[in-house]
Chain A
Amino acid sequence: MTTLRVLVADDNEDHLFLMVRALQEVPDVQLDIQTAADGEEALDAVYGRGRYGGERPPNLILLDIKMPKLNGLEVLERVKSDERLRTIPVVVLTSSERPEDVDATYRLGGNSYVTKPSTGAGLREGLRRVSSYWTSLVSLPEPA
């Protein structure tokens, strides 16, 4: 089983914990989960610098929108405007339901917009679907 690298960026420590745990419980995939507490850390992880020095870019990025320093949409924009990274699927996973955020996500090249399910079971199910869709159903070229 190949190991897939997933980056989860969320400034809410608890949500981060719950998402990581939910992802770990997704059956049939081996996930290597990276976390980021703000937009800058997310970019560090994507570019393999800072505390992620030398690491390969992730195969899937889950982004919250409301984050300090750089928000999720800004991170999304950077990733999608970088020739080498643009093939990485980015799923915006947020509790925002503002139509502007949905529009911006797709305008900036986001691959999916998912509102955070409000129950633990819902969250697990959501993450299972998202990660299995992007990691097994869709086969994308490795980021350069």
Chain B
Amino acid sequence: MENVLEVVNAAGFGALAFVAFRLWRRQSDAASAWLTATFAALGSVLVVALFLPDEPTGTAAEVLLRVLVVLIVAYPYFLYRFMAAFGPTPRTMDRAALSVTVTVALATLALPRFPGSDDLRPVWFELYALAIVIQWAFLGGVVGARLWWAGNGQPTVTRRRMRLLAVGSFALVLAILPAVLPSNDQPGAVRAVTQLLPGLAAVLFLTGFVPPAWLRTVWRRNETAALREAEVELMGVVTVAEVADALLPHVAKVFGARGALLVGGDGRPKASYGVTDMEALELAAPVRGLTGHDPIIVEGNPVLLALPLRDGWLVVPASPFTPFFGAEETNLLKGLGLFTDIALERSELFEREREARRAVEETNAELETLVYGVSHDLKSPIITLLGYLEYLRADHADKLDDEGRYFLDRMGASASYMQALIQDLLELSRIGRVQTDASDIDLDSLIAEVSEAAREGHPGLVVVAEPLPIVRMNALRARQLFTNLVENGARHGGRPDVRVRVSARVAAAGRTEISVADDGVGIAEPYREKVFGIFERLESRDAATSGTGMGLAICRKIVEQVGGEIGVVPSDVGTDIRLTLPLASLTAADVHSVEARR
């Protein structure tokens, strides 16, 4: 039984030495070199021991035995150097590790003889055995503790791997502890456990270094979920800042990093999470000029994980253990790269569109300011012109003949028209700038008032209003809107007794569609959109019905200002203008009070 265990242990550590060697061949870094040395030392001891007689005799056997013991002593030191390869260890600890190892190794060589298993152990040998145990416990303990502690904040797979190594290291320390006692004095249970421990350690080490794929998958669940979550969030974002918000916290979490950043193709940080702007600049510097399609680990302080994007990099400041333990985890990032690229591309498209829209809006605003300024400045001379014309007619008309007075009339009509145009232009430029505060407008009473006012100018006009809802908009604009619409019907109906019907129906949620339809001459199909343009009139200006041609343009602007639409729909008779307006959100009490007023 004991022999079987010995073979298993030897095979286990032999395999570990082989795995470490392959790793070293692949990575050729200090960590894997020391690791190879570690398991080569232990493995060779266990393998050679299989062929060694229980009680070696002769000089050759004696020398071989001492070499094996030196290798046993070297093992924890190599393990210590493996761990120290990841980052600076305290110098005193380095020195202590080296000196205790060298001392024990020299003592091994200097021992007068090795007592047999049945011999009585001399005091000097007891001291020597104690020294070996102390050396193992010290170095193994330090390595185990450091690996365990360094696993904090690492991605799950890396953390578990490091912790397995730490436990393996502790197990080996436990395995050697009983060596303080001669094997004959050890209780049977202790001996059995002692012989099992190296095998257990070997399994732990092996699993730590080359965890099977299924185990990685299980361990990785949290990270995979976090990255999926990031992918889902990335699908909905439209700005670079939102991309960063959706992506970087998850990435940082997965890699146990304190932050993460997006670096542009120019090598400058685009967005960062968890790091200051200064730090972001420093972290971005090493990836400048790098190329590639796969995630790269950039050695340095800190070690950087860099995922190439279509234009730039996703950079994560990682731990020094990442190159050794987490290299494979970086592949997790690969899938994310595509999503990030798509999200960034979409954000840039949106950004360009926003930019374009902003430019258009700015131009519009400038234009409106210009229109306002010009029409405002035109007001002053028109006041003068109209004023003098009036006095000219009042005071001096009798000195003119009929033709002179006709000229005066034409001048007056023109000046009045110009004044109306200026007024409408001013009005158009004011919509959306002044009088924007909304209130609840009862369309029933508004239409009643508007119709009465319109009948003053058009006595034959009939306005039929069906029950109308309460809308939410500016009171002045609402009056302007419906005055224009009703007057439009009266003025362009083609006869004095035009009937205008105002009705409403519920449109989309929170909106109402209102129809202002007349039974006049109507608008021919090609002009139905044109009538909403500025200065668009279908009759010549001299027609009696003439307006400035801006009434419907003003209507459209008012409606669009509250997010509605207005247009002419085809109808059998006359003109049917449809518009959508936001409904007021009413409480039952409001409805009641409105009903009561009817």
Whether A and B are associated in the same complex: the answer reads yes
Q: Which residues of A contact B (CB under 8 A)?
A: 12, 14-15, 18, 21, 95, 97, 99, 116-121, 123
Q: Are B384 and A18 in contact (CB under 8 A)?
A: yes
A15-B387, A123-B387 known; 12 other A-B pairs, CB under 8 Å?
Answer: A18-B387, A18-B388, A95-B379, A97-B434, A117-B383, A118-B379, A118-B386, A118-B419, A120-B383, A120-B389, A120-B390, A121-B390
CA distance A21 to B395 in the complex (A): 12
User: Using an 8 Å CB-CB cutoff, how does the interface string of B12-35 with A read, 1 for contact, 0 for none?
Assistant: 000000000000000000000000
Q: In the assembled complex, which residues on chain B have CB atoms less than 8 Å from the CB atom of A95?
A: 376, 379-380, 383
Q: In the assembled complex, which residues on chain B have CB atoms less than 8 Å from the CB atom of A121?
A: 390
Name 30 A/B residue pairs within 8 A (Cβ), A-sorted. A12-B380, A12-B384, A14-B387, A14-B388, A15-B383, A15-B384, A15-B387, A18-B384, A18-B388, A21-B391, A95-B376, A97-B376, A97-B434, A99-B434, A116-B379, A116-B383, A117-B383, A118-B379, A118-B386, A118-B419, A118-B423, A119-B383, A119-B386, A119-B416, A120-B386, A120-B389, A120-B390, A120-B391, A123-B383, A123-B387
Quick one: given A118-B419, A118-B422, A119-B419, are A18 and B434 in contact (CB under 8 Å)? no
CA distance A18 to B389 in the complex (A): 11
Q: Are A118 and B382 in contact (CB under 8 A)?
A: yes
CA distance A133 to B284 in the complex (A): 75
Q: In the assembled complex, which residues on chain B have CB atoms less than 8 Å from the CB atom of A119?
A: 383, 386, 416, 419
In the assembled complex, how far is the CB of residue B319 from the closest CB belonging to chain A, in whole angstroms?
61
Quick one: given A95-B376, A99-B434, are A118 and B383 in contact (CB under 8 Å)? yes
Q: In the assembled complex, which residues on chain B have CB atoms less than 8 Å from the CB atom of A21?
A: 391
CA distance A85 to B545 in the complex (A): 52
A116: nearest chain-B partner, CB-CB: B383
Ranked nearest first, the 8 interchain pairs of A and B with the lowest CB-CB distance are A18-B387, A120-B390, A14-B384, A120-B387, A120-B386, A119-B386, A95-B379, A118-B383
CA distance A118 to B425 in the complex (A): 14
A-B contact count (CB 8 A): 45
In the assembled complex, how far is the CB of residue B125 from the closest CB belonging to chain A, in whole angstroms?
102
CA distance A120 to B395 in the complex (A): 14
Q: In the assembled complex, which residues on chain B have CB atoms less than 8 Å from the CB atom of A117?
A: 383
Q: In the assembled complex, which residues on chain B have CB atoms less than 8 Å from the CB atom of A15?
A: 380, 383-384, 387
CA distance A117 to B383 in the complex (A): 8
CA distance A14 to B379 in the complex (A): 13
In the assembled complex, how far is the CB of residue B383 from the closest CB belonging to chain A, in whole angstroms?
6
In the assembled complex, how far is the CB of residue A142 from the closest CB belonging to chain B, in whole angstroms?
33
Q: In the assembled complex, which residues on chain A have CB atoms less than 8 Å from the CB atom of B389?
A: 120
In the assembled complex, how far is the CB of residue A79 from the closest CB belonging to chain B, in whole angstroms?
25
User: Using an 8 Å CB-CB cutoff, how does the interface string of B498-527 with A read, 1 for contact, 0 for none?
Assistant: 000000000000000000000000000000
B389: nearest chain-A partner, CB-CB: A120
Q: In the assembled complex, which residues on chain A have CB atoms less than 8 Å from the CB atom of B376?
A: 95, 97
Q: In the assembled complex, which residues on chain A have CB atoms less than 8 Å from the CB atom of B434?
A: 97, 99
CA distance A32 to B393 in the complex (A): 26
B376: nearest chain-A partner, CB-CB: A95
B381: nearest chain-A partner, CB-CB: A14
A117: nearest chain-B partner, CB-CB: B383
A21: nearest chain-B partner, CB-CB: B391
Q: In the assembled complex, which residues on chain B have CB atoms less than 8 Å from the CB atom of A18?
A: 383-384, 387-388, 391
Q: In the assembled complex, which residues on chain B have CB atoms less than 8 Å from the CB atom of A99?
A: 434
Q: In the assembled complex, which residues on chain B have CB atoms less than 8 Å from the CB atom of A120?
A: 383, 386-387, 389-391
In the assembled complex, how far is the CB of residue B277 from the closest CB belonging to chain A, in whole angstroms?
40
Q: In the assembled complex, which residues on chain A have CB atoms less than 8 Å from the CB atom of B419?
A: 118-119
CA distance A18 to B388 in the complex (A): 8
In the assembled complex, how far is the CB of residue B456 from the closest CB belonging to chain A, in whole angstroms?
17
CA distance A118 to B434 in the complex (A): 19
CA distance A120 to B416 in the complex (A): 10
Most buried by B among A12, A99, A119: A119
In the assembled complex, how far is the CB of residue A61 from the closest CB belonging to chain B, in whole angstroms?
20
Q: In the assembled complex, which residues on chain B have CB atoms less than 8 Å from the CB atom of A123?
A: 383, 387
CA distance A12 to B422 in the complex (A): 19
Most buried by B among A12, A18, A121, A123: A18
User: Using an 8 Å CB-CB cutoff, how does the interface string of B360-390 with A read, 1 for contact, 0 for none?
Assistant: 0000000000000000100110111011111
Q: Which of B375-417 contact A (CB under 8 A)?
A: 376, 379-380, 382-384, 386-391, 416
